[in-house]
Amino acid sequence: MAGRPREFDREAALEAAMLLFWRKGFEAASMHDLCEAMGVRSPSLYAAFESKEALYLAAIEHYVLTYGPPVWDRLGEGATARAGVENLLIGAAEILPKSRSAPAGCMAVLGAVSDEWPASIARAIRRVRLDMLGNLRARLEAGLANGELPAATDIEALSRFYLSVFQGMAIQAKDGATPAELRGAAKAAMVAWPGEGYK
């Protein structure tokens, strides 16, 4: 006999939970809020996700897989590392502000400054941010190997600098910065690219 069908579309419910957590944070999003947003009753939510903590972990994974690529895939675009970093920041300027379909900012960045987390969630969100740093580091190391950066470039420092710019843009977007304002910040950050003639 076929198993009993779920009462809801799990992916749609997870998307709704993710958007609520993104807007309100972990603590402020109550179970009542989550059930209402997801269109499920409490027993169905617990049957599918076990706990609020487990639901958040699933939501942040969904966020990374769904909302990460439109921004971070841009880092690999462009003929040089500089072009890739600029593509990332300009793309972020367009995507980070609030839209009809998503809240402003970056869920993984905003979570770092707005909540007290259970340990498992703190680890998961930190891992997402470390992955961002690793992506930047890998792109810059490739640029260094290709002669696009001065030999003395501190890749770790430069990676952290541009991640700091991205994270700052996410917070400014949450505060209402416009795409034009964020593009200006992105362009200003590119002035710090080391070495004249390495563009």
Which pLDDT belongs to residue 156?
A: 98
Domain membership of residue 175 (yes or no) is: yes
- Asked if 48 and 13 count as a contact pair (C-beta separation under 8 A), the reply is yes
Domain membership of residue 22 (yes or no) is: no
Query: Cα torsion at 133, 134, 138, 141 (round to 10°)?
Result: 60
Helices (H), 25-151: 31-38, 42-49, 52-72, 81-95, 107-114, 119-145
CATH number at residue 137: 1.10.357.10
* Backbone φ, ψ for residue 96 (5° rounding): -65, -35
pLDDT in tens, the chain (199 residues): 344 445 568 889 999 999 999 988 888 899 999 999 998 888 888 888 989 999 999 999 999 999 999 999 999 998 999 999 999 999 999 999 988 778 999 998 887 766 577 888 889 999 999 999 999 999 999 999 999 999 999 999 999 999 999 999 999 999 999 999 999 999 999 999 997 444 4
Domain membership of residue 171 (yes or no) is: yes
pTM: 0.88
Domain membership of residue 85 (yes or no) is: yes
Domain membership of residue 80 (yes or no) is: yes
Which pLDDT belongs to residue 197?
A: 43
- Asked if 175 and 113 count as a contact pair (C-beta separation under 8 A), the reply is no
Which pLDDT belongs to residue 5?
A: 44
Number of separate domains in the chain: 1
Rg, C-alpha atoms of the chain = 19
Give the structural domain span for 87.
52-190
Domain membership of residue 73 (yes or no) is: yes
Domain membership of residue 10 (yes or no) is: no
Domain membership of residue 44 (yes or no) is: no
